[in-house]
Amino acid sequence: MGGTTRCRDVLPSQFAGCTDLNSTRFLQRMIHAEKPDLIVFSGDNIFGSSTRDAAESLFGAFRPAMVAKLPWAAILGNHDQESTMTRAELMAFISLMDYSLSRIDGFGNYNLTVHGAAGSPLVNSSLLNLYLLDSGDRAVVGGRRTYGWIKESQLHWLRAVSEELQGSSPVPAPALAFFHIPIPEVRELWFRKILGQYQEAVACSSVNSGVLKTLASMGDVKAVFAGHDHLNDFCGEIGGVMLCYGGGFGYHGYGKAGWPRRARMIQSELRKDGGGSWAGVGRIRTWKRLDDEALTKIEELVIWESPTRKRSRDALLPPRGPPRRTV
């Protein structure tokens, strides 16, 4: 870990001196450039099988956020528990770390609420809801190993939380969902309009538990953000929900030589009502930054607008070119 773990899948010219500390420096640069209000770590925060001490590695992964005194939240991937802590122990530990907003509701399932502007009538109301879900690690189905999935009990919890939040908000509040392992429907985006790169097969569970159907029926979730497949960083829409990858961030995990590590930013913007007071969320945008010399900003996309500001997304999602597969 840290300075003793060499980078994977970088150019020969980058290999000398490249260690997992490059991941730390990338996060520090992102914090300095974007000055975020919240950081979400989307799983595989540590590579458990090569980690002798999970607690020490967690501190290494999250330290830049804690040093910057920034609120942060984390969910688990399929590798976090492969070291010295179970998934339950990991989430309990993470929830107690400085500036962590992570909570425990069935290991990694919890929600966060973003309230209105200070001094506005909506200061005590949630204007943006964040749902963070544990998509599991591995399972055996019909005698075959597959990746984990979001269970019906989790979807029941999610529907109940969404219903409560929507019923208590004086204005319609959009929501975003975060989980590590993508849902099977993401594979359909190979044949649809996307923005970004689709460079590897979607590694999802063989079980379709109805996550997308649940999200669409709830009505508040406008976008889902997943990790897991490091060489995919695209966004595309299915069933009224935008499905997005973050792209590979860390240098300890696999990547693609010559394809810079990257991070996804999400920005929500408040709108004003007819009287000029701050009201609900008017627009949600996303973009990525590359870990290159200029911290290049790429592929900005409006993923949702309130009805008062809505524009056609088709103008923002160019058609895909010829299918590309990378072996």
Q: DSSP secondary structure string, 108-171? A: S-EEEEEEPPTTSTTTTSEEEEEEE----SEEEETTEEEE----HHHHHHHHHHHHHHHHH-SS
Rounded distance between C-alpha atoms, residue 192 and residue 135, angstroms: 25
Q: Write down the pLDDT at residue 320.
A: 52
Give dist(CA 43, CA 178) in Å, integer. Answer: 10
Q: What is the DSSP letter of 184?
A: G
Backbone angles phi, psi at 161, to 5 degrees: -65, -45
Task: Say if residues 147 and 204 touch (Cβ distance below 8 Å).
Answer: yes
Q: Dihedrals φ, ψ of 256, to 5°?
A: -145, 120
Look at residue 139 in the predicted model and tell me its pLDDT. 92
What pTM value is reported for the model? 0.91
Kindly report, residue by residue over 28-39, the tens digit of the pLDDT. 999 999 999 999
pLDDT in tens, 106-153: 556 999 999 998 888 899 999 999 999 999 999 999 999 999 999 999
Q: What is the mean pLDDT of the chain?
A: 90
Q: Can you spell out the DSSP letters for 189-251?
A: GGGS--BS-B-S-----S----HHHHHHHH--EEEEEE-S-TTB--EEEETTEEEEE-----S
Nearest to 256, CA basis, from 230, 234, 233: 230
pLDDT for the residue 317:
59
For residue 322, give the H/E element and its range: none
**Distance between CA atoms of residues 86 and 50, nearest Å:** 15
Task: Give the residue ranges of the chain where pLDDT is below 70.
Answer: 1-4, 48-49, 104-108, 309-327
In the sheet that 262-272 helps form, which strands lie side by side, from edge to edge?
Answer: 262-272, 278-290, 297-305
Give the sign of the dihedral formed by CA 131, CA 137, CA 142, CA 145: positive
CATH node for 12-305: 3.60.21.10
User: Domain-by-domain residue ranges, the chain?
Assistant: 12-305
Bridge partner residues of 115 (DSSP): 126
Distance from chain centroid for Cα 78: 14
pLDDT in tens, 278-313: 889 999 999 999 999 999 999 999 999 998 765 434
Q: How far apart are CA 87 and CA 92, in angstroms?
A: 9
CA angle 163, 238, 79 (to 5 degrees): 80
Phi, psi angle pair for 285, to nearest 5°: -120, 160
